[in-house]
A and B are shown apart, each in its own frame.
Chain A
């Protein structure tokens, strides 16, 4: 049953390459995935873990299973996939590449989150590499070729460092199963933690290894940007939570000061870079890099004290919320481009007059990204900030995590600045040349946006609906 979640998009993608009607197959596949995922999550006992031994020595199994965090990531993946197949404008005649690549990337993401074996956890993430390279290089926009090379080489480099870390981590027990992961001898923990932080960090665009992310998301076709920024990025964070903390807790504690400084680099430095952006797509790309800093803050809090009970739920909830909100933002940005032909903020204005529904949805997504209460991101962010102070009692001196939390709070202000400014300049004010003839979004285009927006609202008001899966 769990294997079906991976096979459905995978076989659908192959079918599309073989000649099936592209868009229809993609939509059916994503809907089917949502149904299967709902079934799998509503009855966890029915879907026993799947395991197939592929290698005897070392013992490696293609094993799938749903644990707490992966359940939430699975929900994120299937929802974003459904939205992604409806988003963006596929160039004439390129439906095959467009939809099959989207499905391959989705299959890779789902496979990575469902894996309970370190090897296949790593391997499924790489399934997305070539489809991404081709999609950005062929169907992207702007500086697409340079962006495609950057993302591919950066991710390759990060992946191989990650592989070294994972090999060192599993070296001692000899087993690659998640269930066999235990803390390794202390002498190796610092090295392993460093390798995992660099490796996973590159995949998550941790400062200073973040240069690839913004150009790639800006140049990528919309479904690819949605899947990468929304889902694939969370892979690295998931890995740190599930593997890093289990295998090298003292190592993570050892590198805590560095993690704190680097995550502040993400929030403050990249945040200021985001304020400086003049294009909507580059702004969103940089903002997604910036928001990773908050999730790293939760991981830092967890590293400082593994018994911190708020840190993990905080990280997971924010991962989910950010994934949904950034996917929504990218989807709406592509609609802005389709309606007006430009994404330069200076050339836009007054779009709300012509496209009120689009303005409302963009406003909702923007507010979510800033962290307005009532939407999912606020729930996640506030939990992260609480997690930062969870181990502190008044009167104690403040440690790395507490000071970092205080500085990180300014990120909310930074994100308010760029998001509100972008919204004002794009949607409000007088009409300009580019927006004079814009039409509002129609029915088909509303579907992905409403799915994502409703998710943000529901989770924002009742986060327990997602967090309940953590106990699976």
Chain B
């Protein structure tokens, strides 16, 4: 089987699911389980090493590469999609309420099929080595997300989120295409693998190139949620259905960072453009860290707090990109997946049960369901970066590369303050769960899928906190 078939299979699977959903009458959430199972098979295919007899054919070579980093990000994409589908199955009550307005789930079928298309797009983005294929796959992902974000059509927040995401997303797509055009004009080709040799041979226009890079940085800054293109994140994350917020927060961000690294790596490595691009990235990183952390401190809505905190994480990752430590960034994203999904699973459950995303809904959770509270505590500890959880290793590696590359002390101080601020707002949730008393002390029952996933994720966070080597092995180190 040739490597690029995997995306074709995923898209085909998505189409089959759509047909299945349209022409059968069963419970729609079963389609979600079916989709998750299919993607699990695809995940298994990803783990098998590529047979050397079937390399990428010559006509695809320019657009598609099947290296270890690409596989790692595909694993992130497929795992995120599976977790999103599982979360959606348990979230179906809320979905039905805000699509048809009644108990019946007839209008929610597509919700379980769209993530599969987004997944295919994300996988394609992971392998893309040409500006054009990056753009096409990015569009597949973004358009799928436009629909998913606005899916709960009877919920004003969801519609508002969809409109904001659409308009700002379209704007950033415009920036992206324009930037691609300028870079094509400056470099003479859209094939990224040729850029390092072109930069060495000096057969390019520096100013046009820098302009193109600036436009692309804006566009990709939108995707990952970096200042100055981060304003959409809080409202879109808060309004979108919780599984989609998780999907955006993890998979879309991971893919965005991969594209950022793919496009920028030749420019960061070259002498002519390296220091300029790196300085811009570091300034963006500092501003992003400040914005994300300061905004998160005052939040009383957990979903919005997670949104701002994801901006803060993007700030840390940008430091890693600027210092060209791509392994650290990939590792951070791998652990980020585990912690974020753990937090979102708990949030989705509380949203279903309590009809609220506010921090008050978490009051007294320690008494109402100790397992949930423990899982969320571990997730918050990992996001804050407490050692012996997986989340610490990411920050550790980023700090390590920052110090080794002589980053300015201003940025390091901002990073210090960010970590301390992070402790405050992440532990605010822990405080609510254990210090505050709940308004009503009924026990919350956790559905089976959520329970199993939470146990697995929490165990993974703790085990990887002591033994992170498996993720590095996946990265091929």
Check if B434 sits within 8 Å of A54, measured CB to CB. Answer: no
Check if A164 sits within 8 Å of B431, measured CB to CB. Answer: no
Cβ-defined partner of B427 (8 Å) among A126, A152, A167: A152
Check if B424 sits within 8 Å of A149, measured CB to CB. Answer: yes
Cβ-defined partner of A152 (8 Å) among B396, B423, B469: B423
Does B27 belong to the interface (CB within 8 Å)? Answer: no
Does B444 belong to the interface (CB within 8 Å)? Answer: no
Cross-chain pairs A/B with CB under 8 angstroms, 7 sampled: A56-B472, A123-B387, A124-B387, A125-B387, A130-B386, A130-B430, A164-B399
Could you tell me which B residues sit within 8 Å of A by CB distance?
A: 377, 381, 384, 386-388, 392-393, 396, 399-400, 403-404, 412, 415-416, 419-420, 423-424, 427, 430-431, 434-435, 466-469, 472, 477
Check if A160 sits within 8 Å of B424, measured CB to CB. Answer: no
Check if B435 sits within 8 Å of A123, measured CB to CB. Answer: no
Contacts of A149 in B (CB 8 A): 424
Check if A157 sits within 8 Å of B430, measured CB to CB. Answer: no
Query: Nearest A residue to B378 by beta-carbon distance?
Result: A130
Check if A156 sits within 8 Å of B399, measured CB to CB. Answer: no
Contacts of B400 in A (CB 8 A): 58, 167, 171
Check if B403 sits within 8 Å of A164, measured CB to CB. Answer: yes
Check if A168 sits within 8 Å of B387, measured CB to CB. Answer: no
A125-138 toward B: CB 8 Å interface, digit per residue (1/0)?
11101100110011
Query: Nearest B residue to A96 by beta-carbon distance?
Result: B370
Does A161 belong to the interface (CB within 8 Å)? Answer: yes
Check if B388 sits within 8 Å of A123, measured CB to CB. Answer: yes
Check if A137 sits within 8 Å of B435, measured CB to CB. Answer: yes
Bound together, the chains give a CA A58 to CA B393 distance in angstroms of 11
Contacts of B381 in A (CB 8 A): 130
Does A55 belong to the interface (CB within 8 Å)? Answer: yes
Query: Nearest B residue to A191 by beta-carbon distance?
Result: B409
Query: What is the CB-to-nearest-CB distance from B405 to chain A, in angstroms, rounded to a whole number?
Result: 10
Query: Nearest A residue to B380 by beta-carbon distance?
Result: A130
Query: What is the CB-to-nearest-CB distance from B323 to chain A, in angstroms, rounded to a whole number?
Result: 13
Contacts of A62 in B (CB 8 A): 466
A118-154 toward B: CB 8 Å interface, digit per residue (1/0)?
0100111111011001100110000001000100110
Which 3 pairs show the lowest CB-CB distances between chains A and B?
A123-B387, A156-B423, A157-B420
Check if B403 sits within 8 Å of A137, measured CB to CB. Answer: no
Check if A55 sits within 8 Å of B472, measured CB to CB. Answer: yes
Check if A55 sits within 8 Å of B468, measured CB to CB. Answer: yes
Bound together, the chains give a CA A138 to CA B432 distance in angstroms of 11
Contacts of A133 in B (CB 8 A): 427, 430
Does A163 belong to the interface (CB within 8 Å)? Answer: yes
Contacts of A164 in B (CB 8 A): 399, 403, 412, 416
Bound together, the chains give a CA A87 to CA B384 distance in angstroms of 32
Does A396 belong to the interface (CB within 8 Å)? Answer: no
Does A57 belong to the interface (CB within 8 Å)? Answer: yes
Query: What is the CB-to-nearest-CB distance from A280 to chain B, in angstroms, rounded to a whole number?
Result: 26
| In the complex with contacts A55-B472, A156-B420, A129-B386 CB distance below 8 A | yes
Check if A160 sits within 8 Å of B420, measured CB to CB. Answer: yes
Cβ-defined partner of A123 (8 Å) among B392, B427, B430, B434: B392
Contacts of B419 in A (CB 8 A): 156-157, 160
Query: What is the CB-to-nearest-CB distance from A133 to chain B, in angstroms, rounded to a whole number?
Result: 6
| In the complex with contacts A55-B469, A56-B477, A153-B420, A167-B403 CB distance below 8 A | yes
Bound together, the chains give a CA A398 to CA B415 distance in angstroms of 42
| In the complex with contacts A56-B469, A122-B387, A138-B416 CB distance below 8 A | no
Bound together, the chains give a CA A470 to CA B468 distance in angstroms of 34
Bound together, the chains give a CA A157 to CA B419 distance in angstroms of 7
Contacts of A137 in B (CB 8 A): 431, 434-435
Contacts of A153 in B (CB 8 A): 420, 423-424
Contacts of A122 in B (CB 8 A): 387
Contacts of B384 in A (CB 8 A): 156
Query: What is the CB-to-nearest-CB distance from A335 to chain B, in angstroms, rounded to a whole number?
Result: 27
Bound together, the chains give a CA A157 to CA B384 distance in angstroms of 12
Check if A168 sits within 8 Å of B466, measured CB to CB. Answer: no
Query: Nearest A residue to B468 by beta-carbon distance?
Result: A55
Bound together, the chains give a CA A149 to CA B424 distance in angstroms of 8
Check if B403 sits within 8 Å of A54, measured CB to CB. Answer: no
A166-199 toward B: CB 8 Å interface, digit per residue (1/0)?
0110010000000000000000000000000000
Check if A163 sits within 8 Å of B399, measured CB to CB. Answer: yes
Contacts of B431 in A (CB 8 A): 137, 145
Q: A56-B469, A56-B472, A57-B477 given. 16 additional CB < 8 A pairs?
A: A52-B467, A54-B469, A55-B393, A56-B477, A123-B387, A124-B387, A125-B387, A126-B388, A130-B386, A149-B424, A152-B427, A153-B423, A164-B399, A164-B412, A164-B416, A168-B403
